[in-house]
């Protein structure tokens, strides 16, 4: 019995061992299958990684080719202005090697780099058409038209892309055009000034004729005294003093005309505007009287000085007086006396574009006013209502430019059947 029981136990152990063996074999087979599956997954992942890596290499080469073909300079910047990436155009135009420029702040190559650093710190957005000057390694200035694009890569990391197009040639042409335009403007101002002087011819002749007549009378009186042998030394001295005064008067007129005709450009000085008005008006009194036009002035007393160019302001006043004179030629006065009045006074503006104390000059006429459609265009260049050959249409346009250059304004108020008033406002000297 004992032997049978022992035999049964041994058989059971064999069965258990066999079952355990089969379990191990199954487990090994399962592990092997899992390993084979893992190997397949691994190989698939490796193939995918290799494919993606190749795609990255190709995309990098593609981007580099694009960057290399872009004619504009391209910078990738950190938020503090540090250069991360540049394209070939940067290296070519600025004459640097890549290692000399990448990793450095953009300040050292860009005049006005503060604009970029400020912009990079403001957040998302872009800015276009900003002109900045680059400095190459050899010191050459390169004018560029720039644009920026700001991106957020991570939560607190900003990156900017700066694109700059070389416009040095265009800038050179623009500067030449500006210089030519400046010269043409000076010539135009001078031509208009000479035109204004032509209108003064009669007044100048009268102003010079008066002292000449006085000198003639003194000379005739002295000549008569000499003939009658009654010339006294005191009378001779007095006569010579009077002659000298008249010569000085003519010299002042001639000097004034010399300055008026020859001087170009702007020469500002502190001056009482009443002096300019009085100097201008004295050349017009007789000329306007010959046309039955009364010229009068009502000048404010103790006006503060204005920073002005006397010749240019005189040119403006001459133009306004001449325009008023011409307006009377077609005006229906209905028996009313033709009048031109010049006023000066002081005001204080608080709400207009010119704040503070202003000296105001008004040229007023009663020549019947100007139609609204004409008044709207009155300051436009080459606009004129005068007959061909009588006006260039530049007088009021140039006058407006002169007043604006004096930081002032010129405006027109007009009323049909009555007259017009041109008002010039100039800031006082502080």
Pair 285, 257 in one domain: no
Pair 257, 145 in one domain: no
Pair 250, 297 in one domain: no
Task: Name the average pLDDT for the chain.
Answer: 81
* Residue 346 banded pLDDT, cuts 50, 70, 90: very high
* Residue 122 banded pLDDT, cuts 50, 70, 90: low
Residues composing the chain:
430
Pair 291, 382 in one domain: yes
**Domain contains 321:** yes
Q: Is the confidence at residue 222, as pLDDT, over 70?
A: yes
Q: Give the bridge partners for 348, in sequence order.
A: 357
Residue where a domain terminates, one of 265, 280, 295: 265
- Residue 142 is part of a domain; what is its CATH number? 3.30.450.20
Q: For the residues 423-429, what does the mean pLDDT come to?
A: 92
pLDDT of residue 112: 62
Q: Which is higher by pLDDT, 321 or 286?
A: 321
pLDDT of residue 361: 96
- The DSSP string of 188-208 is HHHHHHHHHHHHTHHHHHHHH
Pair 281, 401 in one domain: yes
Residue where a domain terminates, one of 166, 189, 222: 166
Pair 252, 287 in one domain: no
Q: Is the confidence at residue 246, as pLDDT, over 90?
A: no
**Domain contains 12:** no
- Residue 286 is part of a domain; what is its CATH number? 3.30.565.10
Q: Is the confidence at residue 13, as pLDDT, over 80?
A: no
**Domain contains 56:** no
Q: Is the confidence at residue 121, as pLDDT, over 60?
A: no
Burial class (CB in 10 A: 0-12, 13-18, 19+), 410: buried
Q: Is the confidence at residue 340, as pLDDT, over 80?
A: yes
| Dist CA 151 CA 157 (whole Å) | 9
Nearest to 166 by CA among 85, 82, 70, 97: 70
335 close to 296: Cβ distance less than 8 angstroms: no
Pair 240, 324 in one domain: no
Pair 150, 248 in one domain: no
Report the relative pairing of strands 338-349 and 293-299 from DSSP bridges.
Answer: parallel
Mean pLDDT comparison of 17-31, 234-248, 279-293, 406-420, highest-scoring range:
406-420
| Dist CA 358 CA 362 (whole Å) | 13
Pair 231, 277 in one domain: no
- Residue 246 is part of a domain; what is its CATH number? 1.10.287
Burial class (CB in 10 A: 0-12, 13-18, 19+), 366: buried
| Dist CA 290 CA 328 (whole Å) | 13
Q: Is the confidence at residue 362, as pLDDT, over 90?
A: yes
**Domain contains 118:** yes
Q: Is the confidence at residue 198, as pLDDT, over 80?
A: no
* Residue 118 banded pLDDT, cuts 50, 70, 90: low
CA 306 to chain centre: 24
- The DSSP string of 16-65 is HHHHHHHHHHHHHHHHHHHHHHHHHHHHHHHHHHHHHHHHHHHHHHHHHH
| Dist CA 140 CA 125 (whole Å) | 31
Q: For the residues 419-426, what does the mean pLDDT come to?
A: 94
Question: For helices 233-262 and 168-199, what crossing angle results, to 10°?
Answer: 150
Q: Which is higher by pLDDT, 327 or 356?
A: 327
The total number of structural domains in the chain stands at: 3
Which positions ≥6 away from 427 have C-beta within 8 Å?
A: 306, 307, 354, 356, 357, 358, 359, 407, 408
Q: Which is higher by pLDDT, 120 or 196?
A: 196
* Residue 408 banded pLDDT, cuts 50, 70, 90: very high
Q: Which is higher by pLDDT, 166 or 127?
A: 166
* Residue 286 banded pLDDT, cuts 50, 70, 90: confident
Task: Return the DSSP state at 272.
Answer: -
Pair 103, 226 in one domain: no
Give the neighbor-by-neighbor strand order of the sheet with 73-78.
83-86, 73-78, 157-166, 141-154, 125-135, 110-111
pLDDT of residue 125: 64
- The DSSP string of 120-154 is HTS-SEEEEEEEEEEE-TT--EEEEEEEEEEEEEE
**Domain contains 417:** yes
Residue 426: which domain range? 266-430
Pair 330, 421 in one domain: yes
Pair 389, 290 in one domain: yes
**Domain contains 175:** no
**Domain contains 137:** yes
Question: For helices 201-227 and 233-262, what crossing angle results, to 10°?
Answer: 160
Q: For the residues 308-312, what does the mean pLDDT come to?
A: 89
Query: 56-101 pLDDT, tens per residue?
Result: 777 766 666 666 667 889 898 887 788 988 888 899 999 999 999 9
User: What is the reported pTM?
Assistant: 0.56
Token code pair at residue 80: 């503090």
Q: Is the confidence at residue 421, as pLDDT, over 90?
A: yes
């Amino acid at each position: 019995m004992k032997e049978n029981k022992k035999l049964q136990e041994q058989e059971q152990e064999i069965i258990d061992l066999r079952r355990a063996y089969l379990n191990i074999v199954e487990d090994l087979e399962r592990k092997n299958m899992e390993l084979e599956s893992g190997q397949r997954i691994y190989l698939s992942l490796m193939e995918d990684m290799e494919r993606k890596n190749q795609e990255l290499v190709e995309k990098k080469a593609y981007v580099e080719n694009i960057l290399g073909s872009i004619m504009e300079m391209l910078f990738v910047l950190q938020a503090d202005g540090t250069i991360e990436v540049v394209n070939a155009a940067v290296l070519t135009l600025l004459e640097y090697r890549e290692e000399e420029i990448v990793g450095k702040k953009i300040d050292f190559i860009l005049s006005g780099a503060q604009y970029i650093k400020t912009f990079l710190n403001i957040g998302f957005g872009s800015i276009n058409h900003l002109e900045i000057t680059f400095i190459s390694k050899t010191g050459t200035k390169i004018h560029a038209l720039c644009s920026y694009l700001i991106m957020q890569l991570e939560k607190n990391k900003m990156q900017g892309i700066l694109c700059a197009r070389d416009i040095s040639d265009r800038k050179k042409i623009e500067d030449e055009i500006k210089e030519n335009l400046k010269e043409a403007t000076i010539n135009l101002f001078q031509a208009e000034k000479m035109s204004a002087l032509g209108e003064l011819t009669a007044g100048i002749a009268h102003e010079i004729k008066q002292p000449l007549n006085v000198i003639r009378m003194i000379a005739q009186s002295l000549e008569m005294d000499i003939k009658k042998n009654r010339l006294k030394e005191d009378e001779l001295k007095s006569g010579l003093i009077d002659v000298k005064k008249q010569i000085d008067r003519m010299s002042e007129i001639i000097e004034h005309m010399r300055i008026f005709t020859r001087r170009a450009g702007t020469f500002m000085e502190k001056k009482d505007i009443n002096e300019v008005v009085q100097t201008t008006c004295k050349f017009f009194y007789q000329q306007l009287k010959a046309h039955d036009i009364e010229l009068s002035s009502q000048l404010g007393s103790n006006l503060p000085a204005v920073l002005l160019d006397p010749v240019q302001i005189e040119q403006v006043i001459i133009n306004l007086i001449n325009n008023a004179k011409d307006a009377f030629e077609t005006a229906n006065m209905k028996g009313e006396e033709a009048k031109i009045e010049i006023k000066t006074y002081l005001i204080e503006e608080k709400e207009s574009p010119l704040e503070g104390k202003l000296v105001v000059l008004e040229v007023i006429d009663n020549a019947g006013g100007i139609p609204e459609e004409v008044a709207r265009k009155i300051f436009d260049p080459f606009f004129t209502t005068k007959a061909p050959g009588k006006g260039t249409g530049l007088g009021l346009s140039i006058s407006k430019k002169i007043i604006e250059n004096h930081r002032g304004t010129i405006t027109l108020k007009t009323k049909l059947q009555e007259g017009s008033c041109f008002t010039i406002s100039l800031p006082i000297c502080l």
